[in-house]
């Protein structure tokens, strides 16, 4: 069994690596764009601190107190009904399911890195057609790129917590930051676009807030902090002794928000400077709008495009790694599998599902890969983001808030937050968090 733990900084970077991902690069700017900019950010910040932060600490405590994989930790900690409670640990399978379609998207990013070295599409139609071709006509490229990403991610996880995951994060996260920072500096030279982008992101416009915005912001906060699918307890089980849990969590949340905002500033500076559409959603914003904007800049555009897509690649890979680890860690600890053997089993599942996701967009096979009338890709995204993550987060919070002993939690957190804040946290965990998650879930299932 591999028994190495994270170093303190390694833990923060790995957890931030998990949090910072395609969610920040794609969901964040898209949702900000669609929901009136700054108002959405304000809401997102409030919900991140009042709800997500509270539940995050609960998940941390499961890992830290249980010191094992999610299933065994919960089993160990539950005073009664051990078996039933420990079943909730299997929400970690949600992370494996996310990995399958998430790595397909990282595959597209890889393809765009390659394209960024050549001629970028000049018009929106061209860019749209090019992206469409990759999805619906060029299954070979999509599968090839997915396979490369798959190998990189599984190779990193196979090296274990310290020499694999920590090492990867320790160089990818700072590189991501440097690349983004460089792009941000460049954005500053487009002063007109930059000022408009900053205004759009930071000058509050509260008219744009509605119930819908509220719920979207909460959903994003959960997705973005990798909640409800066992990632946080698994990483926390590998924390070094005497880590200041509050300081680490705040750093992780701060990095997550900072990178989201930097991404937002870069993306919107380009969009405003060149008259792109702020409300274009999903892949459109990144793979279509931004690609054409880069094309307008000539060679510098190529450099920017490479830097941008490489930073997305790093953000994505560090998240993907965290999706595989919980289940691998479980198989290794529970069944004494070697890491390699565990990864072969998980790998087969992820690879098959990933290919199915690619084929669910590929025109000739799309029909055979639809589930409940949705392409497999969308179905998996829906099942995990809208159902498994919120339910997982609710169960983990309820377990810590209602089942675990308050003394044990105070022992864990008391030193770092004091009695006053501990009581507030405990109250929020028991009442605010379940109610908030319940509402968002019902809303998402019933459709907008």
Q: Which stretch binds ligand PHE (CB under 6 A): 22-30, 146-154, 299-307, 350-358?
A: 22-30
Binding of ligand PHE by 229 (CB under 6 A): yes
What is the C-alpha to C-alpha distance for residues 42 and 214, in angstroms, rounded to an integer?
10
Q: Is 319 in the site for ligand PHE (CB under 6 A)?
A: yes
Q: Which one, 14 or 120, has the nearer CB to ligand PHE?
A: 14
x/- mask, ligand PHE, residues 81-120, rule CB under 6 A, reads --------------x--x----------------------
Q: Report the alpha-carbon distance of residue 99 to residue 362 in Å, rounded.
A: 19
CB 346 within 8 A of CB 339: no
Q: Which of residues 207-226 bind ligand PHE (CB under 6 A)?
A: 223-224, 226
Q: Does 22 bind ligand PHE (CB under 6 A)?
A: yes
302 binding ligand PHE? (CB under 6 A):
no
Select 41 or 273, whichever has its Cβ closest to ligand PHE. Answer: 41
Closer by beta carbon to ligand PHE, 248 or else 302: 248
Confirm or reject binding of residue 388 to ligand PHE (CB under 6 A): no
Please give the Cα distance from 18 to 161 (Å, whole number).
Answer: 13
Nearer to ligand PHE, 91 or 425 (CB): 91
Residue from 10, 24, 248, 290 that binds ligand PHE (CB under 6 A)?
24
Residue 24 or 292 having the CB closest to ligand PHE? 24
Q: Please identify, among the stretches 32-40, 199-207, 317-325, 350-358, the one whose residues bind ligand PHE according to the rule CB under 6 A.
A: 317-325
> By the criterion CB under 6 A, which residues form the site for ligand PHE?
18-19, 21-24, 95, 98, 223-224, 226, 229, 231, 319, 322-323
């Amino acid at each position: 069994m591999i028994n190495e733990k994270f170093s303190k900084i390694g833990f923060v970077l790995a957890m931030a690596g998990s949090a910072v991902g395609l969610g920040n690069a794609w969901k964040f700017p898209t949702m900000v764009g669609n929901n009136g900019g700054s108002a959405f950010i304000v809401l997102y910040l409030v919900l991140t601190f009042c709800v997500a932060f509270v539940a995050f600490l609960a998940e941390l405590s499961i890992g830290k107190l249980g010191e094992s994989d999610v299933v065994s930790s919960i089993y160990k900690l539950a005073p009664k009904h051990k078996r039933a409670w420990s079943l909730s640990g299997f929400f970690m399978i949600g992370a494996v399911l996310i990995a399958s379609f998430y790595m397909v998207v990282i595959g597209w990013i890889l393809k765009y890195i390659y394209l960024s070295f050549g001629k970028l599409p000049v018009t929106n139609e061209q860019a749209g057609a090019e992206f469409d071709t990759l999805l619906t006509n060029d299954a070979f490229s999509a599968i090839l790129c997915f396979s490369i990403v798959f190998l990189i991610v599984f190779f990193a996880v196979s090296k274990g917590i310290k020499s694999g995951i920590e090492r990867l994060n320790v160089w990818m996260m700072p590189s991501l930051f440097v690349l983004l920072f460089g792009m941000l500096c460049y954005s500053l030279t487009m002063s007109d676009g930059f000022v408009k982008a900053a205004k759009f992101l930071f000058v509050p416009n509260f008219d744009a807030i509605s119930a819908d915005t509220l719920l979207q912001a909460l959903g994003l906060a959960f997705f973005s902090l990798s909640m409800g699918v066992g990632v946080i307890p698994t990483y926390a089980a590998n924390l070094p002794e005497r880590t200041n849990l509050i300081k680490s969590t705040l750093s992780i949340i701060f990095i997550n928000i900072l990178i989201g905002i930097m991404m937002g500033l870069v993306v919107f500076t380009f969009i405003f400077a060149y008259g792109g559409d702020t409300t274009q959603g999903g892949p459109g914003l990144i793979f279509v709008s931004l690609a054409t904007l880069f094309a307008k800049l000539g060679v510098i555009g190529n450099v920017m495009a490479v830097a941008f897509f490489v930073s997305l690649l790093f953000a994505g890979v560090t998240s993907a790694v965290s999706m595989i680890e919980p289940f691998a860690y479980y198989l290794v600890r529970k069944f004494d599998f070697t890491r390699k053997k565990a990864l072969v089993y998980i790998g087969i599942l992820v690879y098959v599902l990933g290919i199915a996701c690619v084929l669910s967009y590929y025109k000739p096979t799309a029909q055979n890969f639809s589930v409940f009338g949705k392409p497999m890709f969308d179905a998996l995204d829906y099942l995990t983001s809208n159902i498994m993550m919120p339910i997982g987060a609710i169960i983990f919070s309820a377990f810590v808030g209602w089942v675990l002993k308050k003394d044990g939690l105070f022992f864990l957190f008391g030193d770092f937050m004091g009695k006053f804040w501990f009581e507030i946290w405990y109250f929020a965990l028991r009442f605010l968090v379940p109610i908030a998650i319940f509402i968002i879930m019902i809303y998402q299932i019933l459709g907008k």
